Amino acid sequence: MRRTAILATLFAGLALAQPALAQDEPAGARSDGDESVIRTHGVSIFDELRLPPDFTHLPYVNPDAPKGGEMAQSIPNSSGFDNFNPYTFRGRAVALSSIMLESILATTADEVGAAYCLLCESLEYPESRDWVIFNLRPEARFSDGTPLTAHDVLFSYESLRDKGLSSFRTVISQQVAKAEVLDDHRIRFDFTPDYPRRDLIQSVGSLPVFSRADFEANDRDLEQTMQTPLVGSGPYVFDSADPNRSVRYRRDPDYWGADLPINRGRHNFDTLRIEYFADYDAAFEAFKAGEYNFRREVSSIIWANRYDFPALTNGLVRQETLPDGTVASGQAWALNLRRPQFQDSRVREAIGLMFNFEWSNEALFYGLYDRVDSFWENSALEATGTPSEAERALLEPLAADLPEDILTAEVVTAPTSGERQLDRGNLRRAAALLDEAGWTAGSDGMRRNAQGDVLRLEILNDSQTFDRVINPFVENLRALGIDARNSRVDNAEYENRKRSFDFDMISDHLGQPEIPGSGLQQYFGSANVGDVFNVMGLANPAIDALITQVEAAETQDELTTRVHALDRALRSLHFWVPQWYNPNHLVAYYDQFGRPETLPPYSLGEMDFWWYDAEKAEALRAAGALRR
């Protein structure tokens, strides 16, 4: 749930992870000196755009969906919020605090690597892709009625370049040589000479657009917390907030882009509400009582045992398992490589051997989950088996900075354990690894190095629902001789310690997109070892080189091979203990919504293209099912 909240408010900081390369659109081509210039309505990597310039709506929406009602969800295990700026790690930004912002280009939920004009009417770029011009829609307006112009786009780019998250600043400074306003509705970006061109158009096209006038009038600083919401051009605006308890956004009745084909059938709810709860049980009980109406379930024990309350058995609440075609989130415990005791790969591997997923899935998760093995789990980009010839060609020059068997061994997979909580075979393997690494067991059973230091491991945890998973893991680690403990802290301390790297091991999400790009630098690059996205502090020249290769891939085959090599190399370093994922969305909701019969593969879309059914809602009100 923490990941969901962060992604909802920090999409711009992560946008660089998903840019794509434009394919030529011959119908819009023109000549500009010695080079052809393509004028088009969108960009797509490797494949041509699925939607023609005259498309009327996205294929997976109901273009006639009614407007109205409220979608209300929860954030459990939270200490609340204290500001409205999602682009700083100071303070705790309120959920969905970037929802009012739009970007020049917008992605869809049924294509990988495609983006279409939103704030722009068209874009122009040469065959070399050395630059791009965005032709903005003159009708685009901010919610306060002021025009959105190229000057706002330039201001937004410069603000993010100079005051955005450090990893973002590092990457964008490598990509963009110059940004220039050509007139009120045209802006040009020139790219640096040596940076791979594949991702750059969507990189700049995905940046959020701020109102320069709003920043100046309210003396806003992107690096500091903000006590008033941002002004944007999107379909929703801030409505109200109850500090640390709830926040509400309302659909803007004067939204400038409501009739655009890319928006038809979307943004259907009059209001979006997020309720905050101190713990997971309280959030679930509030759902049962009708305090909010839509729930994404991430607790297997609740899903298996507690969906038997009257509103469900009476048919007022629907419980559904819906397919999820996205790459798995890469949920894992990440070890802090900044700590000296975790710099030896054998120590890290030994720790990973002590988590028994098979026992946990059977005894704790009711068999609902699959094990995460790859940073591209649930996709064709996951490395398998031994390296192919093409992978070996990439890995061989880098082998000195990777494990010695990287060219010949099977790809590292999460260890398999037996039916008992403590797998004796894995315990023996882990003990041998620690012995080799110089951490030997003393008379008290604790592992110490030559200096007499005890091998300690604190698992930082702010979720009571994780206690039942972490505590058996801790018991297994202690059986190995590691002084392990589950440290329960509140959400605020958790975030502060994560940001200051004051932890041994922490739960995070390290999964990567179907078309990885410069976002890899944010998560795994040496230049960002001091950034919160590179949570484990990974700094490895072989990984840096492979990231560069992935960024430069120009065909799907090249990309697949290079990601396989990178995935293989990352997994060989044992800096994570992979957890689990569910290939489905587990959802429950009060039966007052409609949705497309067939959902797109890459989004559940409950806040995007679901809609309110007034007749069903009236039946719920008559039954007294909802408090709000």
Number of other residues whose CB lies within 10 A of the CB of residue 616: 16
When the pLDDT of each residue in the chain is averaged and rounded to a whole number, the result is: 92
Per-residue pLDDT band for 628 (boundaries 50, 70, 90) equals confident
Contacts of 178 (CB under 8 A, 6+ apart): 189, 190
Q: What is the 3-state secondary structure (H, E, C) of 2-46?
A: HHHHHHHHCHHHHHHHCCCCCCCCHHHEEEECCEEEEEECEEECC
* Number of other residues whose CB lies within 10 A of the CB of residue 65: 20
pLDDT tens digits, one per residue of 124-136:
999 899 999 999 9
Name the more confident of 482 and 626.
Answer: 482
Q: So what's the pLDDT on residue 417?
A: 96
CA distance 458 to 239: 41
Give residue 95's identity as a one-letter amino acid code. Answer: A
Beta bridge partners of 296: 587
Residue type at 76 in one-letter notation: P
Q: CA 594 to CA 405: how far, in whole Å? A: 53
Structure tokens at 85: 């700026």
pTM of the entire predicted model: 0.85
> Is residue 155 within 8 Å of 204, Cβ to Cβ?
no
What pLDDT score does 418 carry?
A: 92
Which residue in this structure is represented by tokens 């070996």?
A: 392
**% of the chain exceeding 70 in pLDDT:** 94
pLDDT single digits (tens) 447-464: 999 999 999 999 999 988
Position of tokens 């697949």?
Answer: 560
pLDDT (tens digit, 9 = 90+) per residue, 361-404? Answer: 999 999 999 999 999 999 999 999 999 999 999 999 999 999 99
Check: CB of residue 588 under 8 Å from CB of residue 295.
Answer: yes
Write the pLDDT tens digit of every residue in 303-357: 999 999 999 999 999 999 999 999 999 999 999 999 999 999 999 999 999 999 9
Report helix, strand or coil for 152: helix
User: Which tokens is 520 given?
Assistant: 């890899």
Query: Which CATH code is given to the segment(s) 331-581?
Result: 3.10.105.10
Tell me the C-alpha to C-alpha distance, in Å, between residue 173 and each of 21, 95, 163, 181, 541. Answer: 19, 28, 12, 18, 20
- The first and second tokens of residue 54, run together, are 């005259």
pLDDT over 90 (residue 45) = no
Residue 435 CA to residue 205 CA, distance in Å, equals 52
Q: What pLDDT, on the 0 to 100 scale, is given for residue 336?
A: 98
pLDDT in tens, 591-612: 999 999 999 999 999 999 999 9
Q: How confident is the model at residue 23 (pLDDT cuts 50, 70, 90)?
A: very low
Q: Quick check: 144 and 233 in contact, CB under 8 A?
A: no
More confidently predicted of 499 and 563: 563
Compute the average pLDDT of residues 529-550.
95
Q: How confident is the model at residue 20 (pLDDT cuts 50, 70, 90)?
A: very low
pLDDT in tens, 424-438: 999 999 999 999 999
Give residue 519's pLDDT. Answer: 86
Task: Please state, in angstroms and rounded to a whole number, the distance separating the CA atoms of residues 405 and 140.
Answer: 56
Q: What are the sequence ranges of the domains in the chain?
A: 331-581
CA-to-CA separations, 587 to 70, 75, 179, 323, in angstroms, rounded: 17, 15, 44, 11
* Averaged pLDDT for residues 528-536: 90
Nearest by Cα to 236 from 218, 247, 223, 249: 249
Give the distance from CA 509 to its chain's centroid: 8
pLDDT class for 13, splitting at 50, 70, 90? very low
Backbone angles phi, psi at 6, to 5 degrees: -65, -45
pLDDT exceeds 60 at position 581: yes
Residue 32: pLDDT band with limits 50, 70, 90: low
Report the alpha-carbon angle 300-310-315, nearest 5.
90
Q: How confident is the model at residue 467 (pLDDT cuts 50, 70, 90)?
A: very high
Question: Is the pLDDT reported for residue 4 higher than 80?
Answer: no
DSSP SS3 for 215 = helix
Measured between alpha carbons, how far is 292 from 282 in angstroms, rounded to an integer? 12
For residue range 64-103, what is the model confidence (pLDDT) as tens digits?
A: 999 999 999 999 877 789 999 999 888 889 999 999 999 9
